[in-house]
Structure 1
Amino acid sequence: MTYASSEKPSPVGAAGFGDSLDYVTIRIGEQLLGLPIGRVQDVFITNRITVVPRAPSEIVGLLNLRGRIVTAICLRQRLGKPAQPAPSMPGGTELTAIGIDHNGEAYALIVDAVGEVVRLDRSTLEPLPVHLDRVWTALATGVHRLADELLVILDLDAVLDLDLPAAA
Structure 2
Amino acid sequence: MSKHDANAPAPGAVSAAAAFGESLDYVTVTVGEQLLGLPIGRVHDVFIANQITTVPRAPSEIVGLLNLRGRVVTAICLRQRLGHPVAATPRHDEACELVAVGIDLGGEAYALIVDAVGEVMRLDHSTFEPVPVHLDASWAALAAGVHRLDERLLVVLDVDAVLKLDLPVAA
For the criterion TM > 0.5, the same-fold answer is yes
Unpaired runs of 5+ residues, structure 2, are 1-14
Task: Say yes or no: does 1:65 pair with 2:68.
Answer: yes
Q: Equivalents in 2 of 1:97, 1:36: separation in Å?
A: 15
Q: Is the 8 A contact 1:47 1:87 kept in 2?
A: no
1:45 aligns with 2:62: no
* Pairwise CA RMSD: 2.1
SS at match of 1:45: strand
Partner of 1:145 in structure 2?
Answer: 148
CA contact (8 A) 1:47 1:89 kept: no
Cα separation, 2, equivalents of 1:11 and 1:78 = 36
- 1:119 alignment partner in structure 2: 122
- Paired residues of 2:43 and 2:102 also in contact (CA < 8 A): yes
In the alignment, structure 1 residue 93 sits paired with structure 2 residue 71: no
SS in 2 for 1:51: coil
**Fraction of identical pairs, as percent:** 73
Aligned length in residues: 153
Offset, 1:90:
5.6
**How far is the alpha carbon of 1:134 from its aligned partner?**
2.4
Instruction: Report if the CA contact (8 A) 2:54-2:92 is conserved.
Output: no
Q: Rg larger in 1 or in 2?
A: 2
5+ residue gaps, structure 1, are 1-9
Which residue in the other structure is 2:160 paired with?
Answer: 157
Q: In 1, Cα distance between the equivalents of 2:16 and 2:149?
A: 20
TM norm structure 2: 0.83
Q: Distance in 2 between the 1:146 and 1:116 partners?
A: 14
- TM-score, normalising length from structure 1? 0.84
Residues in 2 aligned to 1:18 and 1:46: alpha-carbon distance in whole angstroms = 33
